[in-house]
Amino acid sequence: MYKIISNKKLAENIHEMIIEAPRVAHSAKPGQFIILIIDKKGERIPLTIADYDKEKGTVNIVVQAIGYSTKKLVSLKENEYIKDFAGPLGNESEFVHEDIEILKNKRIVFVGGGVGSAPIYPQVKWFSERNIKTDVILGFKNKDFIILKEEFEKLNCNLHICTDDGSYGFKGLVTNKLQDMLDNEEIDEVITIGPMIMMKFVSKLTKKYNIKTIASLNTIMLDGTGMCGGCRVSIGGKVKFTCVDGPEFDAHLINFDEAMNRQTTFSDIEKKHSCRLDGAING
């Protein structure tokens, strides 16, 4: 059993939870994910690691409550327990293995959207801890949905926040802000995590500038072992499984249209089940 140290609401239906999981925290690296099961009847929930503290033995996850299991997860309180918390799973980010001196001479821009901002945090933190400054573009619907702003501001990064309606920061999409930077500054690499459609257009944009781009397909993972086949994607025309081969891939090789079709395959069925199961949580 894994103890919930805290459960903090960041925005509507978005919670940050800190879980006591010393072994996972000890081995965790940026880019990796965990799978948790709430109780003996629970389904597997894959979530990218949003932060970890090796000394305290804790792992942070950010959860968007959109289905039965995630709604039940965020309803749990501090000092309650979840049944299983397995990880770290998946491959760590590629930059972890790069030469630090080479990285110091690179201009790397992170582009995140919505809840995708959370898995970007440990990556930017990794650079910050090595005194490497990065640029971070985060996009949200409006100011009420901004998450982890204060946490990013404490890191060694240039933070650019975009909102669709202009209620905070840059008015427009992350691709609009990225376009500005690409037109006026030297950029070596882009790393993007967020909605599939956002990553698709980030990839299309950077391809025009021939800039290396990495995207995380964390949102299509299911069982975390590659056995279910639910996270199958086409990368450069080859079949890959996101949970064991990724979750990060060369964005210019990803067939985003195919991946988005897979994401919506069961959306109608999920909506019907969500309505029926809401009552199980609420009472």
Annotated binding site for [2Fe-2S] cluster: 228, 231, 243
Spatial strand order in the sheet of 212-216? 170-171, 157-163, 134-140, 108-113, 189-193, 212-216, 248-250
44: closest CA among 36, 34, 33? 36
253: closest CA among 213, 219, 197, 226? 213
Task: State the binding site.
Answer: 62-64, 228, 231, 243
Q: Could you tell me if 161 and 132 are in contact, meaning their C-beta atoms sit under 8 angstroms apart?
A: no
Q: Residue 22 has which token pair?
A: 């010393």
DSSP per position, 67-83:
SHHHHHHHH--TT-EES
Q: Secondary structure of the chain: what % helix, strand, coil (to 5)? A: 35, 30, 30
Question: What gap in Å lies between CA 246 and CA 233, rounded to an integer?
Answer: 10
Task: State the binding site for FAD.
Answer: 62-64
